[in-house]
Amino acid sequence: MADSELDELRRLAEQGNSDAIDQLIELAGERGDMAELRRFADRGNGTAADELIQVATELADLGELRRLADAGNRTAAEVLAELTEE
């Protein structure tokens, strides 16, 4: 996807377009773009939070999982506990 298309999706997402938000989350997950996922997750988007947990788990990013867990995300806390038990 071209940068101009991403910029347009981001513009639409900022206006609250749920289709654009969903598409950006999906693309960010595919690219492993934790910053983009974090922006949506920090705004309360559960899908983005789940995708962020998946990417962080794949990258063994314990810091990101800890940040999410500290913010009250139970799934992140469970994954973090599983990863740190091993």
Q: What is the pLDDT of residue 86?
A: 62
Domain that holds residue 72: 3-85
Distance CA 7, CA 5 (A): 5
pTM listed for this prediction: 0.89
3-state SS class at 52: helix
Q: What is the pLDDT of residue 12?
A: 97
Distance CA 86, CA 76 (A): 16
Confidence of residue 2 (pLDDT cuts 50, 70, 90): confident
- When divided into structural domains, the chain yields a total of 1
Locate 86 and state its tokens: 């091993």
Locate 75 and state its tokens: 């799934």
Q: What is the pLDDT of residue 1?
A: 75
| pLDDT 10s digits, 13-68 | 999 999 999 999 999 999 999 999 999 999 999 999 999 999 999 999 999 999 99
